[in-house]
Amino acid sequence: MKLYSLKLIAIALVMACALFVLLGDGETSSGAEKKYASTGFGNAETLMARYQAWEAKYVKEAGAGNIALPLGPSMTFSTEYVAGSGQAKINLHDGKVEVSVEGLPRDESWDVWLIDELNGPGSSILPEPGDTMMNLGSLKQEGEQAKLETTLDPAMLPTLDPDVVVVTRKGKNPTESRTLAGNMTLFHELYLSGQQGHFGTINDRVETPSQEPEERGLFGRMIDAISPTASAQIGPGIGGLIGDGRKLFFNEQFLGNGRTCGTCHREDNNLTIDPEFMATLPPSDALFVAEFNPNLAVNFENPVLMRNFGLILENVDGFGNLATKFAMRGVPHTLALLDNTLTPANFDGTTTPPNERTGWSGDGAPVGLFTLFDGTPHNAQGTLLDFAIGAVIQHFPRTLNRQPFTFPGLPFDFRLPTLAELVAMEAFQKSTGRRLDPDLSVLVLKGFVPDRGQQLFLSVGCNLCHRNAGASVDNIQNANFNTGVENLPDQPADLTGELNPPDGGFGQTPCTGPGGSPPCGNGTFNTPVVVEAADTGPFFHNNAIETIEGAVDFYDSNAFNNSPAGQIVPIDLEATQVVAIAAFLRVLNTLENIRSAGDLEKRAILANLADGRELIGLSIAELTDALEVLNGGGLHPNAQLLLQQAIALDTQARRTSNLTTRNNLLNQALDLKKLAVKDMVAVNVPAFDF
């Protein structure tokens, strides 16, 4: 009786959701009349700048007109493990294909296949009947490497869509054998679309069933309504892609408990959340779902630690033994996800996947084979694109069963995103924040204390791990370190007496606690960017430090200097030096706030009234942050006055319904911000231009 009731409830929920879409106000995510969403914090020029930086490096390494995919084993894609690696290169102009691999057993033979996967409900990232699978030939051993060279038919190049390159055992097709593989990424897809003359429009789309709408029953149309196609989710060009990604990020609940990605990553709060912001939210906000949903009252969140310290429960080592197998972590902001923020270093003792650094420990995105909502099995490799899969499973479920939607009538707790939704959300996330790190060797600050703080930042060791105040060690890679932050005494969350297990950082082993309990991991945590640090506290993965001065002072603590990282770069700071470095970081943060506000205002000038009001509101939030950051350090009172005046102009501009008046006010606000920058900076850098 209980199971039958649950099935009825599940069916009712599906029907209600579908009927809302079918009978609602008409603003569905499909159809020719779709209005593409505003991009908000997302900026097409920013995504383009990041793509172009990637493309410049990519073309230099791969050569113009080439699709170059790294080949390697996959824990979920490969049918067997073979410790080989290499690259497949396809020239889109002449069709020449070059494959080179090393590490394969020389006494065996291997074939190379090019796969264009079938798209649609029930299709798979795994090779299967219906996919276009082309045998490119066999690898031939040449010294340490096995190589293959061939040429594709030129007629197929304009529409070529190489989803995966696979190395198989000779004589077997990819449905039978898969050893090494290389997949396309978002930026690969954009590069391919540009080479084929339709930049920004991705080839892969999940098409609706061939059956005509009038031939489909109500149930079929209901499923269509709650399963938006990639054609609907991916707009024409970069702007549409980002706008759809933003709409999904802040509005899509994935049939879960009411939360969205934006529940914790608030656009008007630097894409993060903190106790002060939480205090402004109503009790019904989905962030507090554990307080009013009895199915999530135990082991889903800890309301005491959440409301007081901004800590969110994370099952980073899996969902077994829910009573202890979790960590309490703050919400990292997702601004400025640059290539050097995500690219893992190759010297810090960690391995990939995860193929990109996400989350406090650098292993936040899931790895494994997941069946997405459109029926597509997806081989998650721990990339930013995959991050939403883990977020939905962790934070969106209706019950702790965490059962994804599989078929109408069966109980479910959420639906997983479609591949198109993952791509769009990745595009939005990579379009926010700065376009590059500031060059601190060129930046010259006014103000004696911030200037001294910059000198100290560059000289005492800060710049070694936070090069140019970013997250890279050598300006191209991001690393994990054990800084001893877990060993800080009297951590605020511990003082409450609430259950707060140790956090082992990256990975799942070794489990050093009693009976194999946490902490599980190698004790290392990921290096965050610090340009945006001053207004995105509390600090560190456990929100143990409240102020930017306290965060700097941590590196003069016994916890740090006794840690593995502290043994490499010991730091000895006096109190005045701590304040100086913090003042430097406050000014950097303010410059970024002003850059962001200026960008929002410039886009508002080009927008209609509704989108303009939204952009101006975000600009006001950025300028308010800038004021708080400067005021908190007693810095640049004249710049503070100018920013107050700019906020007043923005507020007037937001209220007016006259476009000419609005734009005049915004231009005045832009001029005031430029004066504020001159009050703080003698020589500016491109990272803060607007």
DSSP 27-95: --S-STTPPPPP-TT--HHHHHHHHHHHHHHHHHHH-TTEEEEEEEE-TTT-SS----EEEEEEETTT-
148 φ, ψ (degrees, to nearest 5): -145, 135
List, for residues 457-502, the tens digit of each pLDDT value.
999 999 999 999 999 987 778 999 999 999 999 999 999 999 999 9
CA distance 619 to 598: 7
Query: pLDDT tens, 122-173?
Result: 555 567 777 789 999 999 999 889 999 999 999 999 988 888 899 999 999 9
Whether the upstream peptide bond of residue 519 has omega within 30° of 0, thus cis, is yes
pLDDT of residue 77: 77
Please state which architecture CATH assigns to domain 63-185: Sandwich (2.60)
CB 390 within 8 A of CB 366: yes
In this prediction, residue 229 has a pLDDT band, given cuts at 50, 70 and 90, of very low
**Residue among 78, 27, 570, 29 at smallest CA distance from 367:** 78
Amino acid at residue number 446: K
Using CA atoms, how far apart are residues 176 and 106, in angstroms rounded to an integer? 21
Q: What is the dihedral sign for C-alpha 638, 642, 647, 648?
A: positive
Contact by Cβ (8 Å): 318, 402: no
Whether residue 213 has a cis bond before it, omega within 30° of 0: no
Amino acid letter, 447: G
pTM of this prediction?
0.84
* Residue 182: strand pairing partners: 165
Domain-wise residue ranges, the chain: 2-25+206-429, 63-185, 435-476+573-690
> Which of 106 and 590 is assigned the larger pLDDT?
590
Confidence of residue 380 (pLDDT cuts 50, 70, 90): confident
> Alpha-carbon distance 447 to 467, whole Å?
22
- Distance, in Å, from the CA atom of 493 to the CA atom of 305, rounded to the nearest integer, reads 6
Contact 570, 557 (CB under 8 A): no
d(CA 178, CA 188): 22
* pLDDT of residue 30 exceeding 60: no
Q: Is the pLDDT of residue 83 over 90?
A: no
Q: How far apart are CA 16 and CA 472, in angstroms?
A: 48
What count of other Cβ atoms lies within 10 Å of the Cβ of residue 310? Answer: 23
Tens-digit pLDDT profile for residues 438-457: 999 999 999 999 999 999 99
State residue 639's pLDDT score. Answer: 98
CA atoms within 13 A on the CB side of 418: 27
Instruction: Please check the confidence at residue 10 and state whether its pLDDT lies above 70.
Output: no
Which of 252, 280, 318 has the alpha carbon at shortest distance from 29? 252
Among the listed residues 109, 267, 234, the one whose alpha carbon sits nearest the alpha carbon of residue 620: 267
Taking every pair of C-alpha atoms in the chain, what is the biggest distance, in angstroms?
77
Scan for tokens 């080179």, then name that residue.
100
Cα 182 to Cα 32: distance, rounded to the nearest angstrom: 35
Indicate the class that CATH gives domain 435-476+573-690: mainly alpha
pLDDT of residue 513: 62
Q: Is the dihedral of CA 359, 360, 366, 372 positive or negative?
A: negative
Helix, strand, coil fractions of the chain, as percent rounded to 5: 40, 15, 45
Q: Determine contact, residues 122/207, Cβ cutoff 8 Å.
A: no
392-409 residue pLDDT tens: 999 999 999 999 998 889
Residue with tokens 């990975």: 507
Q: How far apart are CA 93 and CA 99, in angstroms?
A: 17
Which pLDDT value is given to residue 7? Answer: 39
Split at pLDDT 50, 70, 90, the class of 319 is: confident
506 and 350 in contact (C-beta within 8 Å)?
yes
Taking alpha carbons only, the member of 553, 615, 601, 623 closest to residue 581 is 553
Query: Backbone phi, then psi, for 140, in 5-degree steps?
Result: -120, 130
Name the least confident of 219-228, 301-310, 372-381: 219-228
Sign of CA dihedral 206, 212, 213, 218: negative
Which pLDDT value is given to residue 35? 44
pLDDT > 90? residue 648: yes
Q: Determine contact, residues 308/274, Cβ cutoff 8 Å.
A: no
